[in-house]
Amino acid sequence: MSDWIKRFLPFVSLIALCVLIAALEPKFLSPGNLASVARQTAVITIIAMGMTIVMVSGGIDLSVGSMMALAGVTGAFAMASGAPVIVGIVASIAAGAACG
């Protein structure tokens, strides 16, 4: 029983939390809200899937989040200084490539 609890308790807790929130706020499970959540978590989800592969294979690289932040800030600085969007994208890619 202990093994079952360790394995499934996070999923059961997540489902219980979703049911509770849906009961308190009917719009929680609406298609618009679910689409909004999917849009807001897409980038982090893609990075997390990549990190899962790295960690499962035995290599632990925790610098990915910092490199993503650096690339984003580099692109934001480029665009805030008046550069076109394409220059910001190229600056972000260059910063990410330079860091590894």
pLDDT at 100 over 80: no
Task: Give me the phi and psi of 30, to 5 degrees please.
Answer: -70, 150
Structure confidence at residue 1 as a pLDDT band (50, 70, 90): low
> Could you tell me which residues come within 8 angstroms of residue 64 by beta carbon, excluding any fewer than 6 positions away?
47, 50, 51, 54
Tell me the whole-structure pTM to 2 decimals.
Answer: 0.49
pLDDT of residue 48: 86
Domain residue limits, the chain: 1-59, 63-100
Average pLDDT over residues 9-23: 93
Structure confidence at residue 57 as a pLDDT band (50, 70, 90): confident
